[in-house]
A and B are shown apart, each in its own frame.
Chain A
Amino acid sequence: EIVMTQSPATLSVSPGERVTLSCRASQSVNNNLAWYQQKPGQAPSLLIYGASTRATGIPVRFSGSGSGTEFTLTISSLQSEDFAVYYCQQYNDWTTFGQGTKVEIK
């Protein structure tokens, strides 16, 4: 099983700041990597797939990069509605998720 490790576990930021979240795979997943946002009491929503392609309706402030084992989700200027938990998912070899990064208000 491919293990996905996200860092940091929690990130305290102020609105307007640039945010970078990391996701590392225990072996190469090529570019078969997605990012999701989950707010309390809600289902996850797809942000990025194919490591760098924004899903339908996702604002341009969200961007993804990386390939192989190292991936990054960047939020260029954090908005109030972006405070949430973010998960990465590899779908190269079955499916596994990272443990999540919580982005909270500083």
Chain B
Amino acid sequence: EVQLVESGGGLVQPGRSLRLSCITSGFTFGDYGMSWVRQAPGKGLEWVSYIRAKAYGWTPDHAASVKGRFTISRDDSKSIAYLQMNSLRTEDTAVYFCARSDHRYCSSISCPLDYWGRGTPVTVSS
């Protein structure tokens, strides 16, 4: 059974940092791309970051709203994806979901997200 479990969220002051983890099981992690998507309270979905599988160079992409502040990474030996969030702002407050993507169904740039974790809440407030 495919499972994704996020952790590392919490309450943090503006300007501080937080690292989210997405621990996975039930599939060959190294074969898949991984993404982070967030959802602010009562709002819709916003894609944050994406990292491709080794076969595609492990190349990352970040939304313009977080570029230069957030960094996505992965440890294929541990089947974990990470999101390092620096210089946090109040507008980064959201539930952060990690999600898997199968490169077979992607466009040349991005992908649908076939499995999601339950999310971890991040609150940025003084």
Contact = CB atoms under 8 A, between A and B. Distances in A.
Interface stretch (A18-26, A45-53, A72-80): A45-53
Contacts of B44: 87, 97-100
Interface string B58-73: 0001011000000000
A44 B109 contact: no
A45 B110 contact: no
Contacts of B118: 42-43
B110 A94 contact: yes
Q: Is the interface of A mostly helix, strand, loop or mixed?
A: loop
Contacts of A43: 97, 99, 116-119
Contacts of B63: 94
| Chain A interface size range | 20 to 34
B79 to A, nearest CB: 19
A28 B42 CA distance: 29
Interface in A67-106: 87, 89, 91-100
B110 A95 contact: yes
A34 B117 CA distance: 18
A96 B47 contact: yes
Given A43-B97, A87-B44, A99-B44, A94 B117 contact: no
A46 B2 CA distance: 14
B45 A46 contact: no
Given A87-B45, A98-B44, A100-B44, A46 B112 contact: yes
Interface of B: 35, 37, 44-47, 50, 61, 63-64, 97, 99, 105-107, 109-119
